[in-house]
Amino acid sequence: MLYLKKLLSAIFPKRRLHFCNTFLRLQKGMIIMILGRVYGSVVSTHKLDSLVGSKFMLVQCIENGKFIDKYLVAVDGVGAGIGEDVIIAEGSSARMGMKNQDAPVDALIVGILDEKLL
Nearest to 23 by CA among 94, 90, 96: 90
Cβ atoms of 55 and 41 within 8 Å: the answer is: yes
Its CATH architecture, for the domain 2-112, is Beta Barrel (2.40)
Encode pLDDT of 65-84 as tens digits.
889 899 999 999 999 999 99
Encode pLDDT of 100-118 as tens digits.
788 888 899 999 988 776 6
- The pLDDT confidence band at residue 41, using thresholds 50, 70 and 90, is very high
Percent of the chain scoring above 90 in pLDDT: 33
Model confidence, pTM: 0.72
What's the rounded Cα separation, in Å, for the pair 108 and 39? 15
Domain boundaries, the chain: 2-112
